């Protein structure tokens, strides 16, 4: 039996698989836009969807995506599993692996827990629907959005403005694998990328011929930006210990003035948005915003991820 294909981190996707998952997601999006129905490639499979934190897009995308591909879905909320009464993570994974083909999980915590579920599993694939350090399936939706809009990801020039959170980490780990791509991150002081993520993105960029940089102001933006990306300031409602954090974040608000400095750039946001906080409503709703297409692409990319986990290339 072949080993299950896990997606706990983008690093679990070899370069060829990263490109084929995005290509498959683009194909799903185009077929859907043309009014076509998905081929039932997952008939007989059962997908567990376990979300310990709130979610609108990711949970719906994986649930609807599994159903559209013909799989069955078992959904678990935060209070449903016996881990709440003391069963170990390892035992939980072992039991689920005997019953499920894929487990899509949002823990918002340490990815080690998902690695524990994945360890030694030959059948059940584990998909990280957001951990504290990385949001890999968001990056796949982002790449799908860029590929659909620009035709090619290589060579794109992207400005990321906001916290170096799990979405920013996944974006850096994804774009740094595309030749000629520029990712310029502008993160509030004290809220940058995790050092390990930055080091990995820089190493990947060196190998691929991409460029990744990070600084903590909005001075001297690169010319000819293709996209400006921001995210909510409080990832899944998390709080920040510094009571004055809003003062630190305020200069990183994406409003019309900032977008005017990138005149041909589209606007991206992983959503949910807090209008008036990280982004002005007129930017989010403006003609250059791809944010809601990006949200729909979570469905198309989730379908592509499930198919990859199921062995389709």
Report the interface residues with ligand CP, using CB under 6 A.
55-59, 130, 138, 270-272
The nearer residue to ligand CP, 84 or 292, going by C-beta atoms, is: 292
The nearer residue to ligand CP, 138 or 144, going by C-beta atoms, is: 138
* Least distance in angstroms from the C-beta of 131 to ligand CP: 12
Strands, E assignment, the chain: 46-51, 72-76, 102-106, 125-128, 157-161, 182-186, 211-215, 227-230, 266-269
* Least distance in angstroms from the C-beta of 138 to ligand CP: 5
The nearer residue to ligand CP, 4 or 47, going by C-beta atoms, is: 47
Alpha carbons 220 and 42: distance in angstroms, whole number? 49
Q: Percent helix, strand and coil across the chain, each rounded to 5?
A: 40, 15, 40
* Least distance in angstroms from the C-beta of 309 to ligand CP: 18
Nearest to 204 by CA among 237, 170, 240: 170
Alpha carbons 120 and 4: distance in angstroms, whole number? 9
The nearer residue to ligand CP, 56 or 238, going by C-beta atoms, is: 56
Do 300 and 28 form a contact (C-beta atoms < 8 A)? yes
* Least distance in angstroms from the C-beta of 120 to ligand CP: 28
* Least distance in angstroms from the C-beta of 129 to ligand CP: 7
Please state at what angle helix 136-150 crosses helix 291-309, rounded to 10 degrees.
Answer: 120
The nearer residue to ligand CP, 158 or 273, going by C-beta atoms, is: 273
């Amino acid at each position: 039996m072949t080993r299950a294909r896990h997606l706990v981190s983008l690093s679990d996707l070899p370069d060829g698989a990263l490109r084929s998952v995005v290509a498959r997601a683009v194909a799903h999006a185009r077929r859907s836009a043309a009014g076509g129905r998905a081929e039932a490639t997952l008939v007989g499979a059962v997908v567990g969807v376990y979300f310990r934190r709130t979610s609108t897009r990711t949970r719906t995308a994986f649930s609807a995506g599994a159903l559209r591909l013909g799989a069955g879905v078992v959904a678990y909320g935060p209070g449903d599993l016996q881990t709440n009464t003391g069963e170990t993570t390892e035992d939980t994974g072992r039991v689920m692996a005997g019953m499920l083909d894929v487990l899509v999980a949002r823990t918002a915590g340490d990815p080690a827990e998902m690695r524990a579920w994945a360890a030694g599993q030959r059948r059940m694939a584990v998909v990280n629907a957001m951990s504290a350090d990385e949001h890999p399936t968001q990056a796949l939706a982002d790449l799908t959005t860029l590929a659909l809009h620009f035709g090619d990801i290589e060579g794109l020039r992207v400005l990321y403005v906001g916290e170096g959170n799990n979405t920013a980490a996944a974006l850096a780990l994804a774009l740094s694998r595309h030749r000629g791509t520029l990712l310029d991150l502008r993160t509030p002081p004290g809220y940058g990328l995790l050092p390990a993520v930055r080091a990995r993105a820089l190493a990947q960029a060196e190998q691929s011929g991409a460029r990744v940089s990070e600084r903590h102001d909005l001075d001297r933006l690169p010319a000819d930006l293709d996209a400006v990306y921001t995210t909510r300031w409080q990832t899944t409602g998390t709080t920040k210990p510094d009571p004055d954090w809003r003062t630190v974040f305020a200069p990183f608000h994406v409003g019309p003035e900032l977008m005017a400095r990138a005149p041909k750039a589209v606007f991206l946001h992983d959503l949910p948005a807090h209008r008036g906080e990280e982004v002005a409503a007129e930017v989010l709703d403006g003609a250059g915003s791809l944010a809601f297409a990006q949200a729909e692409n979570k469905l198309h990319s989730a379908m592509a991820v499930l198919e990859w986990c199921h062995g389709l290339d």
